[in-house]
Amino acid sequence: MLNLSRRKFVTSAALAAAFGLDTRLGISPVFAQKIADPQPGFHKYKVGDIEVTALYDGIWEKPHDPAFIANASVEDVKAAMVKAGLPADFVSIPFTVVVVKNGGKTILCDSGTGGQVQPTAGKLAANMKTAGIDPAKIDTILISHFHPDHIFGLMEKDTNKPVYPNAEIIVSDVEYKFWTDPAVIDRLPEARKGLARRIQSVFPNWKNIKQVSGEPEVAPGIRFVSAPGHTPGHRAFHLASGAGQLMISNDTAYVPALVVANPGWRGQYDQDGATAEASRRTLLDRVIADKIMICGYHFPFPGGGTIAKDGTGYALTVMKT
Ligand SMILES: [Zn+2]
């Protein structure tokens, strides 16, 4: 046992060293983070005249699991990670929240993990402070979908108290109705039943949630874009300022090393794989045709970049910090 875990540690450390990464991180053998967090944990950039701030919430260094991608082997997944310049011994799933300041409003795009999803995530509040953003001054929160890493940042751990009681929280009506239907609990897989129960015990009591249909303008310069499949009401957010545009893709192409490069791969977290793939291809094709920037909630920090066609798939070029 000792030899095995020791060898595992050396392998990870050697791998990180090969990528020029700092390995002097956590001590816990279970939760030791292998890749250092970006410093600083925020990055500001412009889209047209609008200021966008990417805020790092943390990372899930997900152990390989043959079930993660239904139609690709662990070896295929490892090769895809390496091709994207990432370590092969786990799947890198960072969490990055975007703040947009426009039209006198401060808009938060999804809410982070709230420190309730992975032990190596929950750094949003600290990075928001460092970036000079006051959480009490957030006017609007756009929610892409109701998975834990996107909504748990709205609710305090244990008490479920609202973290942003004064902000307007805008959600897709399709997503809201799906998760708050009492009958959904019986239909969901075991791993998602607790999530639905928590949503049903919290959201209907909050007065500051607004449901919207279709693809309206939901904040100054930002429209919802229907991108279902990952969840029934999943939305991307399209931001426009003059000639500048950014497609905030959320989880449409959640781990780009895997599903941007291989858009036909079917991920475990896509509730409806075929619909998710169709939404992914539509969104990526639109970003290419319109020559606009894209960012993603689980893209390598700071999450922004551009997309190009690459053989049978697509390639993401990540912006420099
Ligand atoms: Zn997600």
293, β-bridge pairs: 246
| 247/287 Cα distance (integer angstroms) | 7
Per-residue burial over 231-251, b if 16 or more Cβ lie within 10 Å, else e, is: bbbbbbbbbbbeebbbbbbbb
CA of 252 to the centre of ligand 1 (A): 9
Question: Are residues 274 and 253 in contact, defined by beta-carbon separation less than 8 angstroms?
Answer: no
> Which phi and psi (to 5°) does residue 50 adopt?
-95, 140
| 132/153 Cα distance (integer angstroms) | 18
CA of 186 to the centre of ligand 1 (A): 23
> What is the number of other CB atoms lying within 10 angstroms of the CB of residue 206?
13
Per-residue confidence band for 31, with pLDDT thresholds at 50, 70 and 90: low
Flag whether pLDDT at 28 surpasses 50: no
Average pLDDT over residues 302-311: 96
> What is the number of other CB atoms lying within 10 angstroms of the CB of residue 15?
17
- Residue-by-residue DSSP string for 88-100: SSSEEEEEEEEEE
| 102/122 Cα distance (integer angstroms) | 26
Average pLDDT over residues 152-181: 98
CA angle 217, 170, 271 (to 5 degrees): 100
| 141/59 Cα distance (integer angstroms) | 22
CA of 6 to the centre of ligand 1 (A): 32
| 148/114 Cα distance (integer angstroms) | 9
Q: 175 by DSSP, 3-state: which? A: helix
Flag whether pLDDT at 20 surpasses 60: no
pLDDT tens column, 219-243? 999 999 999 999 999 999 999 999 8
Average pLDDT over residues 182-204: 97
Q: 152 by DSSP, 3-state: which? A: helix
Residue 24 pLDDT: 38
105, β-bridge pairs: 102
CA of 131 to the centre of ligand 1 (A): 23
Residue 1 pLDDT: 31
DSSP structure class, residue 147: -
| 47/67 Cα distance (integer angstroms) | 38
What the block records as the tokens of 92 is: 């890198």
| 143/49 Cα distance (integer angstroms) | 23
| 263/252 Cα distance (integer angstroms) | 10
CA of 230 to the centre of ligand 1 (A): 9
CA of 298 to the centre of ligand 1 (A): 7
Which of 38, 29, 32 has its CA nearest to residue 56? 38
Residue 182 pLDDT: 97
Per-residue confidence band for 173, with pLDDT thresholds at 50, 70 and 90: very high
User: What value does the mean pLDDT of the chain take?
Assistant: 91
